[in-house]
Amino acid sequence: MFLMKSYSTEEIRFSLLALAQRRLPVLASQLEDLTQLSTTLQSQLNTLVPDWAALETFVAAADTKVDPVIVSQALEKGDPQTILSVKKALERDFAILRANLADEEEKISEYTEYVMRRRNDYTAFIRCMLEKLAQQDLIRPILS
């Protein structure tokens, strides 16, 4: 049975509830996925061209965002230049993802203090402050 609580007509209350997935674990999961893809590409490059790191500066990164499908297509093709291009694009995606992770961690640290302040009840403090102002007769000039 659902009980309704009634409020006075002058009182306005809002209850906004939202269900959303936390962004930090999602980004961490994406980082793990990219790490696995990078390991796969590196092992294939080590097999095809042992000194592939020397060639890395001469190959441009792929324009698309790297996903498992693109990696599997590059591996099926077997062309070291294509694999190296996808690996460079993967490194670019790593940098973007790390920046997003740092931003998210910064947001969390900024909001921690804000959330702690919201959880505290300042009623007693405000009541005490108003009483002290009234005792010193400082509240009348403010109210006039």
What would the pLDDT profile of 132-142 be if each residue is shown by its tens digit? 888 888 877 77
How many Å separate Cα 36 from the centre of its chain?
Answer: 20
One-letter identity of residue 32: E
pLDDT of residue 18 exceeding 90: no
Residue 3: band (very low, low, confident or very high) from pLDDT cuts 50, 70, 90: low
Average pLDDT in the chain: 84
pTM for the complete prediction?
0.62
Q: Residue 9, SS3?
A: coil
Give the pLDDT confidence score for residue 1 in this predicted structure. Answer: 45
Query: What residues contact residue 57 under an 8 Å CB cut-off, 6+ apart?
Result: none
CA distances from 39 to 35, 71, 90, 93, 110 (A): 6, 11, 11, 15, 35
